[in-house]
């Protein structure tokens, strides 16, 4: 698989097979992804990966947290701007509607939608759970470096036939994650990532998100028409 194939075939997978991802593979891609560029070569990404017993223990802790009360911890950063204007608002709405259409969950079924969202907090059944944290002293530029690492990682996983889904959803339960991982206080949680092999039978995995046409987000200066 070349880079273009990996880019084209990567998509967010939200249902996984009960199949182990080899630890040697994980070590390799986690290390290789660190070849990602970062401003000043700060390499600000900090990564926790959970498999097997620690993942089971974490999931149990999370289930316990959710069984008491699903209301989130106070968020440490806004996932979206307060007032999400166009065209961003529509893009988000469209994605949500397309996903619930695949799942057959109607717009009025708020409970059904909420219940589905809770799958985030089980890593969608993935055999590998990853968390990405960053030093609180880092700013917007370094947060963009986190994206460099995470996308490189997802592409390297694709090259090896492994699927993933980045998950900002974890940020609203950062306290629970922090307690379990014993994250140093100077670090904050950016996102999680579910990693594993896609369940081909799961309707949600049929979702194919759209993209803006090139002309909508580029201005090509000096290009032939
Ligand atoms: C940083 C980041 C956080 C995300 N958080 C979530 C999440 O919490 N839950 C979820 O289901 N998808 C999440 N996604 C997946 C996006 O919805 C998805 O990337 C987008 O709709 C494009 O679809 P694609 O990844 O299938 O190409 C996240 C993606 C990124 C890059």
Please give the pLDDT value at position 79. Answer: 93
Report the mean per-residue pLDDT for the chain: 96
Please give the pLDDT value at position 144. Answer: 98
Does a structural domain hold residue 88?
no
Among residues 133, 128, 124, 125, the alpha carbon closest in space to that of 178 is found at 133
Burial 184-208 (b: 16+ CB within 10 A, else e): eeebbbbbbbbbbbbbeebebbebe
Please give the pLDDT value at position 47. Answer: 98
User: 151 burial class (0-12, 13-18, 19+ CB within 10 angstroms)?
Assistant: middle
CA pair distance 14, 199, nearest whole angstrom: 9
Ligand 1, atom 5: closest residue by C-alpha: 167
CA pair distance 55, 181, nearest whole angstrom: 11
Cis upstream peptide for 165 (omega within 30°): no
- φ/ψ (deg, to 5) at 160: -100, 15
User: Tokens in use for 9?
Assistant: 């075939």
Number of domains composing the chain: 1
Q: Is 12 in the pocket of ligand 1 (CB under 6 A)?
A: yes
Ligand 1, atom 16: closest residue by C-alpha: 12
Over its C-alpha atoms, the chain yields an Rg (Å, rounded) of 18
Ligand 1, atom 10: closest residue by C-alpha: 167
Contact 89, 81 (CB under 8 A): no
Distance 167 CA to ligand 1 centre (A): 6
Distance 165 CA to ligand 1 centre (A): 6
Does a structural domain hold residue 199?
yes
Residue 69 has pLDDT above 90, yes or no: no
User: Tokens in use for 195?
Assistant: 């990693």
Ligand 1, atom 29: closest residue by C-alpha: 166
Does a structural domain hold residue 169?
yes
Confidence band, pLDDT 50/70/90 cuts, at residue 164? very high
Does a structural domain hold residue 222?
no
Does a structural domain hold residue 106?
no
Please give the pLDDT value at position 67. Answer: 87
Distance 67 CA to ligand 1 centre (A): 25
pTM (predicted TM-score): 0.96
Q: Which of 8, 10, 12 to mutate to test the pocket of ligand 1 (most atoms within 8 A of CB)?
A: 12
**CATH number of the domain that residue 53 is part of:** 3.40.109.10
Ligand 1, atom 7: closest residue by C-alpha: 167
Q: Is 166 in the pocket of ligand 1 (CB under 6 A)?
A: yes
Among residues 98, 82, 123, the alpha carbon closest in space to that of 211 is found at 98
Domain span holding position 27? 15-34+41-70+120-207
Does a structural domain hold residue 154?
yes
Does a structural domain hold residue 104?
no
Does a structural domain hold residue 101?
no
Q: Is 158 in the pocket of ligand 1 (CB under 6 A)?
A: no
Residue 155 has pLDDT above 90, yes or no: yes
List, for residues 199-208, the tens digit of each pLDDT value: 999 999 999 9
- The H-or-E segment that residue 133 falls in is strand 128-135
């Amino acid at each position: 698989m070349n880079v273009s194939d990996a880019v084209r075939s990567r998509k967010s997978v939200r249902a996984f097979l009960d199949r182990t991802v080899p630890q040697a593979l994980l070590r390799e891609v986690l290390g290789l992804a660190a070849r990602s560029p970062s401003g000043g070569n700060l390499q600000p990404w900090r990564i926790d990966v959970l498999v097997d017993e620690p993942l089971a223990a974490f999931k149990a802790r999370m289930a316990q947290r959710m069984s008491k009360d699903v209301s989130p911890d106070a968020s440490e950063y806004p996932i979206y701007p307060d007032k999400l204007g166009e065209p961003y608002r529509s893009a988000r709405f469209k994605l949500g509607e397309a996903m619930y259409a695949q799942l057959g969950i109607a717009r009025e079924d708020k409970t059904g939608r909420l219940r589905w969202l809770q799958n985030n907090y089980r890593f969608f059944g993935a055999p590998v759970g990853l968390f990405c944290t960053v030093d609180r002293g880092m700013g917007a530029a370094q947060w963009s470096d986190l994206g460099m690492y995470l996308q490189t990682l997802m592409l390297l996983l694709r090259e090896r036939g492994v699927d993933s889904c980045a998950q900002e959803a974890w940020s609203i339960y950062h306290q629970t994650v922090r307690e379990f991982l014993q994250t140093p206080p100077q670090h904050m949680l950016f996102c999680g990532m579910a990693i594993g092999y896609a369940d081909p039978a799961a309707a949600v995995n049929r979702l194919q998100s759209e993209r803006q046409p090139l002309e909508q987000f580029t201005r090509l200066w000096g290009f032939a028409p």
